[in-house]
Amino acid sequence: MKIATWNVNSIRSREAHVRRWLERVSPDLLFLQEIKCEAPAFPAESFAALGYRAEVVGQKAYNGVAVLSRIPVTVTHRALPGDEADVQARYIEVAAAGLTVGGLYLPNGNSGGDEGYRFKLAWMDRLIAHARSLLARDVPLVLTGDYNVCPTDEDLAPGTLGENDALVRPPTRARYRALQWLGLTDAVRAVQPHGTAYTFWDYQGGSWQRDRGLRIDHALLSPEVAERLVSARPDRRTRGEEQPSDHVPVLIELSE
């Protein structure tokens, strides 16, 4: 079984990129972030022609998540539980093939000053609480998406971010570790414990050409699912295409 995540930075700008990638890789589930459109504007028919059904949680011009599936899915959540006042389109969760899979777009935390960073931490606290609830029920779980977290210094090119950047601040990293301490395995680091495995390169400053990247797109697996892990890797190829997203897909493969 193949599960992937990809922050496409506007699905209307990257529709052709996603179509090519689906044709080349054929994942069973592809979770998308930052689609930047409401559900009626999502090009669902284009992906249906390739055999993929779309479930979309959209928002005009900002945020937005979706899942493309070529296997049967049931949507279990269209928002992260814990705050009914949160109307940002950042989470979708499905049941598929005996798994619960959440696709998330975690707040960046660098905009909005102190309040923006507090929102990021509060969102992470809600994610931890939700994961804890699912794991307490022995749900086979995958939480994948754009976490906007560099878990360690090895996950960013030297000098790329300042120490006060919301992606690397100690409270951010502490909450990512708290997720792992629930019993979740970072799929990419399970396969490649050390070394660069970047998933994002800024458009500015020749970051792609100089390989000054960040690893901020992750897949966390519950113990039962981690035992089935076959491979996990970012697909760097997409970043070298014309007019690419600044993120690349992260693909995990599980044994049946």
Hey, how many other C-beta atoms are within 10 angstroms of the C-beta on 72?
10
Per DSSP (E only), the strands in 114-199 are 141-146, 185-186
pLDDT at 31: 99
- Rounded to the nearest integer, the mean pLDDT of the chain is 98
Confidence of residue 155 (pLDDT cuts 50, 70, 90): very high
The 8-class DSSP code of residue 53 comes to E
Express each pLDDT in 96-119 by its tens digit.
Answer: 999 999 999 999 999 999 999 999
pLDDT at 81: 97
pLDDT at 115: 97
Half-sphere exposure of 227 (CA within 13 A, CB side): 4
Express each pLDDT in 62-99 by its tens digit.
Answer: 999 999 999 999 999 999 999 999 999 999 999 999 99
What is the distance between the alpha carbons of residues 107 and 63, in angstroms, rounded to a whole number? 9
pLDDT at 200: 98
- Give DSSP secondary structure letters for 182-239: TT-EEHHHHH--SS----EE-SSTTTTTTT-EE--EEEEE-HHHHTTEEEEEE-GGGG
Sorted by where each begins, the domain ranges of the chain are 2-254
Determine the CATH number of domain 2-254: 3.60.10.10
pLDDT at 105: 98
Query: Which residues neighbour 233 within 8 Å (Cβ) at sequence distance 6 or greater?
Result: 188, 191, 192, 197, 250, 251
Express each pLDDT in 34-51 by its tens digit.
Answer: 999 999 999 999 999 999
pLDDT at 39: 97
Confidence of residue 151 (pLDDT cuts 50, 70, 90): very high
pLDDT at 196: 96
| Bridge partners of residue 253, in order along the sequence | 2, 231
Express each pLDDT in 190-224 by its tens digit.
Answer: 999 999 999 999 999 999 999 999 999 999 999 99
